[in-house]
Amino acid sequence: EYLDRIVDRDSEICAFLSVDAEEALESARRIDRARENSEKLGSLAGVPVAVKDNLCIKGSSTTAGSRILENYVAPYTATAVQRLQAAGAVLIGKTNMDEYGMGSSTEKSAFTTTRNPWDTSRVSGGSSGGSAAAVAARECVIAVGSDTGGSIRQPASYCGVTGLKCTYGRVSRYGLLAYASSLDTVGPLATSAVDAALAAQIMAGVDRLDGTSLPDDVPDFVGMLQDKSGASLEGVRIGVIDEAFEGGIDDQVAEKVNDAISVLESLGAEVVRTSLPNLRVATSAYYILAPSEASANLARYDGVRYGERNEDPENMSSLYTMSRKNGLGEEVKRRIMVGTFALSTGYYDAFYLRAQKIRTVVAQDFQSAFEKDIDLLVSPVSPTPAMGVGEKADDPVSMYTQDILTIPASLAGLPAISVPCGFSSTGLPIGLQVIGSFGKEADVLRAAHAYQ
Ligand code: GLN
């Protein structure tokens, strides 16, 4: 049924970069046989799951949206994906994304732009735009995404689905093609907080193959939501981030998010105003730190070890240069240059080090809010609903401003969720962001679930 839906819808939406129908049907049949034999089935048995194309699946094409990896076939499977498979998920395909996660609209994919299922003249958001659109168009039940500065939450908000960015380290990054390693996280997109909770719970947990993986036990996210108290927010203190509603926020976004906050209050939450004074500088710091890490991480794409190699180089140096010149997109090159510059002698202190200090200050802002007995923070996900295809594609700075409200939680490594909370007058989805303290996905999911 889902494969048929992809055939029907995806030529217009372009959520998928590859679909392996044979493999999907085969694994669905395997699960059917297991069911007939009364074998014990996993909690995702038979559920169609799509995977962002920066996560490796053994034997499948994994491009990260980049020309340089067009013919790359992964020799192993990412831990998060392998855990979903072990729970019975049927992997149906790989979803489109901005190249290496660098973008907010999927227009920076080397292959295609994913359209927003609610209005195909609009973008799906990014960089996990393919995953968000696939869920929104019901081309899969759950999709896996990655979020470095907002790449799960922002497309979820644009496409009207639920997207969870987990605490940094909660889900293993093993098998995720690195963008900015100190910020990269893996998480689910789904149509409800319960489904997101289930997928997160399965993917989460310590993995010795990722040195930054959290050793903590994973709480029973789903059980907590099913608990009788799951629908009430009695005793929960929610801080509304003042700065998130200042300057540049679309009126309809502010209105719908404020309505959602009133609903949280009616469910028993105590709502207070709170300030994150450094919220607005977080974006500037991020656009130094993420490119700096990317410039190091992407050095491996030299045409020798992975992907496309220039066939006619004059010497070793031109082999690297030509392979990268032809294989990497403009936005990726821009980030590599910014990062290389920020890390270079003479500029390091002025840019990289300063950005690291801002990162610390932003994390401290969150900490002081949570120390004031605030359990959760709320804001819009994005300042506007989905933009038109092409509207901001050639204006990187304007594109970067789409991330101002999602980047702060990324810098601090905190869990955050994007929950649909209404529509603009033109019928575009709007998202509420709920941010929790470190390791508290359960609180974030509880608020999202109660709201839904
Ligand atoms: N849009 C942001 C960027 O371009 C965030 C992307 C992400 O989270 N991967 O870096």
The pLDDT of residue 219 is 93
The pLDDT of residue 228 is 63
Q: From the alpha carbon of 101, which atom of ligand 1 is closest? A: 9
Q: In whole angstroms, how far apart are CA 425 and each of 258, 388, 420, 451?
A: 16, 15, 15, 22
Any atom of ligand 1 within 6 Å of the Cβ of 151: yes
The pLDDT of residue 398 is 87
- DSSP assigned state of 417: E
Tokens linked to 249: 């926020």
Distance 79 CA to ligand 1 centre (A): 22
* 305 has a pLDDT exceeding 90: no
Beta bridge partners of 196: none
Distance 270 CA to ligand 1 centre (A): 32
Length, in residues, of the chain: 452
Distance 341 CA to ligand 1 centre (A): 19
ipTM beyond cut 0.95:
yes
Any atom of ligand 1 within 6 Å of the Cβ of 101: yes
The pLDDT of residue 261 is 98
* 385 has a pLDDT exceeding 70: yes
Catalytic residue numbers, as ranges? 52, 127, 151
Nearest residue to 3 (alpha-carbon basis) of 49, 43, 34, 42:
49
Cα 115 to Cα 12: distance, rounded to the nearest angstrom: 7
The pLDDT of residue 50 is 98
Nearest residue to 132 (alpha-carbon basis) of 32, 52, 236:
52
Cα 177 to Cα 57: distance, rounded to the nearest angstrom: 11
The pLDDT of residue 231 is 76
- DSSP assigned state of 150: S
Nearest residue to 144 (alpha-carbon basis) of 214, 219, 87, 211:
87
Any atom of ligand 1 within 6 Å of the Cβ of 403: yes
Collect all residues with Cβ–Cβ distance below 8 Å to 430 and sequence separation of at least 6.
157, 252, 253, 256, 257, 380, 385, 420, 421, 422, 423, 424
Our mutation pick for probing the ligand 1 site, out of 53, 102, 289, 404, counting the most ligand atoms within 8 A of Cβ, is: 102
Domain boundaries defined on the chain:
2-230+378-451
The predicted model gives 375-384 an average pLDDT of: 98
Collect all residues with Cβ–Cβ distance below 8 Å to 315 and sequence separation of at least 6.
none
- Atom 10 in ligand 1: which residue has the minimum CA distance? 102
Cα 261 to Cα 263: distance, rounded to the nearest angstrom: 5
Any atom of ligand 1 within 6 Å of the Cβ of 148: yes
Beta bridge partners of 19: 93
Q: CB–CB of 132/163 below 8 Å?
A: yes
The predicted model gives 181-200 an average pLDDT of: 98
Distance 373 CA to ligand 1 centre (A): 31
Tell me the H-state helices in 313-393: 316-327, 330-342, 354-371
* 229 has a pLDDT exceeding 80: no
The predicted model gives 253-280 an average pLDDT of: 97
Topology adopted by domain 2-230+378-451: Amidase signature (AS) enzymes (3.90.1300)
Distance 129 CA to ligand 1 centre (A): 11
Tell me the H-state helices in 148-192: 153-159
DSSP string, 76-141: S--HHHHHHHHTT-EEEEEE--SGGG--SSSTT-SS-PPEETTEEEEE--SSSHHHHHHHHTTS-S
Q: What is the dihedral of CA 91, 93, 97, 100, to 10 degrees?
A: 70
Share of the chain above pLDDT 70, in %: 99
Any atom of ligand 1 within 6 Å of the Cβ of 104: yes
Any atom of ligand 1 within 6 Å of the Cβ of 150: yes
Cα 156 to Cα 151: distance, rounded to the nearest angstrom: 9
pLDDT digits (tens, 9 = 90+) for 282-301: 999 999 999 999 999 999 99
Our mutation pick for probing the ligand 1 site, out of 54, 55, 98, counting the most ligand atoms within 8 A of Cβ, is: 98
Cα Rg of the chain (Å, integer): 21
Q: What does the angle CA 173 – CA 176 – CA 179 come to, to the nearest 5 degrees?
A: 100
Cα 314 to Cα 392: distance, rounded to the nearest angstrom: 38
The pLDDT of residue 230 is 63
* 128 has a pLDDT exceeding 70: yes
Average per-residue pLDDT in the chain?
A: 96
* 158 has a pLDDT exceeding 90: yes
The predicted model gives 91-99 an average pLDDT of: 98
The predicted model gives 360-371 an average pLDDT of: 97
Distance 286 CA to ligand 1 centre (A): 9
Q: pTM surpassing 0.95? A: yes
Cα 192 to Cα 108: distance, rounded to the nearest angstrom: 28
* 420 has a pLDDT exceeding 90: yes
